[in-house]
C-alpha cells in the first residue's frame, strides 16, 4: 500500500537505491506514528506540556518534512531538465501540485508547505488504515463462512472463475461493497475521527462547548448505536443492500461517518473506495 501511494504521489521522481532507501524510511516513520497514535498523550489533557513534545511527534514531523523536501526538490530538478512533452507524459500528483503552486492563484494560493502537509495526510492515514480494515474484513468473513461464500459466488459470476479482478468489475460487486461498508461501520479505522476545534461557543445536546475546545467525534459509538442500527453488533452486509443508497461515504448522513464529514472529511476516500474492494476481491477470488 505504501509503495502504491508513493508511486501515485510522485511516480518516478526517485530511482533505484534512493527509492528503496526512502521507502524504508517511510515504513519506519509510519510504524512509529501508528504506535504513538495508539497511546495516550498527556499533552491532550495538559496542553501546557505540548511545548515539551513528550511523545516526539515534532521529531517525526521534521523527519517527514526532510523526505518531502528532498523529493520535491528532485522533481523540480527533473522538470527543469525534461522537455514539456516529457513532463506531460509523466505527470503525477506532485507535478500537478507544483504546477498549481507556480500558477499562483491569488484566491487560493498553494505553497510547498501545503503540498507537504497533504502528502503527510495521505501517507500516514492511507497505509495502516487500509491494511487494518482489510484484516477486519477478512476476519469477519472467516467468522461468517456464509458471507464468505456469497462473496465468492458473486466474484465467480461477475469476474469469472479463471479471470483476474479488474477495476471495471468493482461497481458490479454489490455484495462485496456491502461487506466493505459493514466492515467500516463496525470497525472504522479512525474510531474518534480527526479532532475538531470549535470556532465559536455553542450548545450541543444541552452541553455548552466553549470556543477553542478540542472536540472528538466518537464514530465507533455512533455506528453501533442501537437507536439507529438494528442488531448493531451483528456483522450483516445485507443492511447495505436494501434500498440504502444513501449510506455512501460522503458523510452527509451523520449515522454513518467512517471517513468523517464536512471540510475535514478524509482526504483519501477515493483511494480507500477503490483499493480496499480491489484488494479484498483479488484476495478472496485467488485464494481459498
Are 215 and 189 in a shared domain? yes
Residue 88 has pLDDT above 60, yes or no: no
Q: What is the pTM of this model?
A: 0.82
Residue 279 has pLDDT above 60, yes or no: yes
Are 164 and 195 in a shared domain? yes
Are 16 and 68 in a shared domain? yes
Are 41 and 118 in a shared domain? yes
Q: Give the number of domains in the chain.
A: 2
- To the question of whether residue 202 is assigned a binding role by annotation, the answer is no
Are 65 and 135 in a shared domain? no
Residue 268 has pLDDT above 70, yes or no: yes
Domain that holds residue 230: 128-286
Task: Report the distance separating Cα 151 and Cα 175, nearest Å.
Answer: 6
Tell me, what's the pLDDT at 42? 83
Tell me, what's the pLDDT at 177? 95
Last residue of a domain, one of 125, 156, 182: 125
Confidence of residue 85 (pLDDT cuts 50, 70, 90): very low
Tell me, what's the pLDDT at 76? 87
Last residue of a domain, one of 96, 125, 154: 125
Confidence of residue 243 (pLDDT cuts 50, 70, 90): low
Are 114 and 154 in a shared domain? no
Distances (CA, A) of 46 to 40, 51, 216, 248: 12, 11, 16, 37
Are 190 and 276 in a shared domain? yes
Task: Report the distance separating Cα 145 and Cα 153, nearest Å.
Answer: 12
Amino acid at each position: 500500500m505504501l509503495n502504491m501511494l508513493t508511486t501515485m504521489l510522485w511516480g518516478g521522481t526517485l530511482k533505484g537505491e534512493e527509492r528503496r532507501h526512502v521507502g524504508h524510511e517511510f515504513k519506519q516513520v509510519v510504524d512509529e506514528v501508528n504506535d504513538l497514535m495508539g497511546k495516550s498523550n498527556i499533552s491532550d489533557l495538559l496542553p501546557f506540556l505540548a511545548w515539551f513534545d513528550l511523545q516526539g511527534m515534532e521529531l517525526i514531523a521534521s523527519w517527514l518534512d526532510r523526505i518531502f523536501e528532498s523529493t520535491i526538490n528532485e522533481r523540480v530538478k527533473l522538470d527543469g531538465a525534461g522537455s514539456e512533452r516529457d513532463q506531460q507524459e509523466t505527470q503525477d500528483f506532485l507535478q500537478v501540485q507544483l504546477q498549481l503552486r507556480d500558477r499562483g492563484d491569488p484566491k487560493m494560493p498553494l505553497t510547498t508547505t501545503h503540498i507537504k502537509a497533504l502528502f503527510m495526510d495521505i501517507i500516514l492515514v492511507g497505509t495502516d488504515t487500509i491494511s487494518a480494515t482489510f484484516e477486519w474484513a477478512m476476519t469477519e468473513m472467516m467468522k461468517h463462512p456464509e458471507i464468505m461464500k456469497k462473496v465468492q459466488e458473486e466474484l465467480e459470476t461477475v469476474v469469472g472463475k479463471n479471470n483476474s479482478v479488474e477495476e471495471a468489475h468493482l461497481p458490479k460487486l454489490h455484495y462485496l461493497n456491502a461487506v466493505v461498508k459493514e466492515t467500516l461501520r463496525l470497525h472504522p479505522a479512525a474510531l474518534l475521527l480527526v479532532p475538531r476545534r470549535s470556532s465559536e461557543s455553542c450548545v450541543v445536546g444541552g452541553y455548552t462547548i466553549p470556543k477553542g475546545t478540542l472536540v472528538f467525534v466518537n464514530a465507533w459509538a455512533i455506528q453501533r448505536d442501537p437507536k439507529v442500527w438494528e442488531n448493531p453488533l451483528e456483522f450483516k452486509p445485507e443492511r447495505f443492500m436494501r434500498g440504502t443508497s444513501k449510506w455512501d461515504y460522503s458523510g452527509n448522513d451523520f449515522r454513518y461517518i467512517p471517513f468523517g464529514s464536512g471540510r475535514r472529511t478524509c482526504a483519501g476516500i477515493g483511494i480507500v473506495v477503490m483499493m480496499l474492494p480491489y484488494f479484498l476481491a483479488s484476495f478472496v477470488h485467488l485464494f481459498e
